[in-house]
Amino acid sequence: MRRAAAAACLVSSILSSTLAWSQRSDAELVWVWSSRCPAPTHVALRVQLDGKTIYATSLSLCRWERGHETGKASLRFTPARALTWYGYRSDEGDGTKDPGDTTPAGTALEIQFWQAGGESDAIELGYTVAARDGLHMNSVHVLSPTQNRTSTMAPGLVLETWPEK
């Protein structure tokens, strides 16, 4: 009887601790991208192709509980030159040099952005690049609300974010 009571007490203690931990984790403040931010910090996002801006916007970020991420953005463009994508469709694991995946000049492309994750000091900004024949890139840009960050999506196609003043 004492063992059963002790076991029940132990199980109850573990469940209580687990519940308290999950509630604490859910209430943890992280950076989120949302137009509903009560006191937003603004971060600029720019996409450049060969040094020319093809898209620019301002993102509203704030420290908030997980689950408030609602930010999404997209752009469409048709580059006048071919673009070569590395690491998504091509096979990097076979020990040979990645030949890349090339979309010809004049291929209409769509880039979609969304919040893939939020941390106490950054946002994981997910993005995909798609053409009529499917996805050519699916990756993450680590966006900092306090620092300039740059990611190369494909050679010559650059994603930049920085805090606006």
The tens digit of pLDDT for each residue in 42-56 reads: 999 999 999 999 999
Tell me the two tokens of residue 149: 């960050």
Which amino acid is it at 83? L
- The domains of the chain are located at 28-163
| pTM higher than the cut 0.85 | no
Residues 6+ apart with CB under 8 A from 75: 47, 54, 55, 110, 111
pLDDT in tens, 105-159: 999 999 999 999 999 999 999 999 999 999 999 999 999 999 999 999 999 999 9
151 in Cβ contact with 45 (< 8 Å): no
Alpha-carbon span 13 to 25, nearest angstrom: 18
pLDDT at residue 97, as a whole number: 77
pLDDT at residue 87, as a whole number: 84
Tell me the two tokens of residue 78: 């048709």
